[in-house]
Chain A
Amino acid sequence: MTKQPEAFLPLSQATYYILLSLREVRHGYGIMQDVEVVSLGEVILGPGTLYGALSKLEKQKVIEKALVQDDDRRKYYQLTELGKEVLQLEFIRLKSLVENSNVFIKEMEGK
């Protein structure tokens, strides 16, 4: 039985950016580059960390192998339906976290 999307939350910062990068089909190095750009250089993934994360996420059926014909040396990935749900749920969770605390944090800054 596959796990419910809620069971994957909260995601680590690295995992969140990896899933976000798979809004398009990408290979491993493509993911590394996208994560660095989208996170404005905040998250720079090492290949060991990425490879381990991809294997784990694939096993959990959050992502899957994408078929790309003209490159047999690299493995390409895409989000599964479960993966899309996980990413969206995490986005909603983070967003409500920020929105719910926004007023109070601003108050603290004002003092």
Chain B
Amino acid sequence: MKQIEKREKFDMKFTEGLQVVEDYTEEAAIKEQLKVNEQLVEEITTLFLKDEVEKFGFKKVALTISGGVDSAVVLEFAVRAFGEENVYAVFLPHSDVTSKLSFECVEHLRDKFPKVNWIELDVKPIVERFETLIGLETNRSNSEKLRRGNITARVRMTVLFDIASANEAVVLGGSNKTELLLGYATWYGDMAAAIYPVGDLYKTQVFQMARYFKTPQKIIDRTPTAELWIDQEDEAELGIGYEVLDQILFEWIDLRRKPRQLYEKYGQELVNKVVKMVKQASFKRNMPLIPKYSLRTIGFEFRMPRDVGV
């Protein structure tokens, strides 16, 4: 009861830089603080998408649909911003890898948004041709599994960008904040996009939005997976559950606590592991390095805003 009252008081205040009350350092409180105002997120994201895409001179958007929660929520935002008929939802299963569950989840989305332009294409023949040409034997070792997964992601990217180009649509990516921080995505694969509509939402916040949007329950209930190989599961592969992961990231990044302040609560090993992953993925969140020696180098003295002249 006391917690709820305090939470209400907390709600009334400006949260930025606020010294959090003692009780709120507890796990339940952090979980509570991670919750977003869904209506506000819906309103701001929808408006942002509309404004930016219009500014680029486009009316339509394209995105890949995987049957997972991230792409489903991006689809929800896209439909709200542009209307179903202006959205290209591209489902690119690999018929050997993509599970029956994923097909079912996509089917539910199709039922929900029947007027969206749905495109489905099995990428298996393309991926296999790739593998043969570069001499990659499938499923032999973990590193080959990873190479194969990355090839699949980049094949999907190529197909998606072609569809977007053919239909004059802007590519939306499905990367969320947790994924971008950890680098748990394929560089120039599923990360390739003009806009990340859920890039400032942690994975658990994406789930919160999915529940708010009444996204098909099957999608909300399923275990998160990148599905780049059979039986891959995010949380097993990362070695940490999304709930705890998001709490660590939120406390470290959003609340600016030092990693060692989190040792007691989450364990030193786990905290350091997360911090290391975020550091190692830094390259994925930045543009490629350029050696600086001219008078005005891109990224140093030359800093032109992205939205200029559009």
A and B are interacting partners: no
Which B residues are within 8 Å of any A CB, using their own CB? none
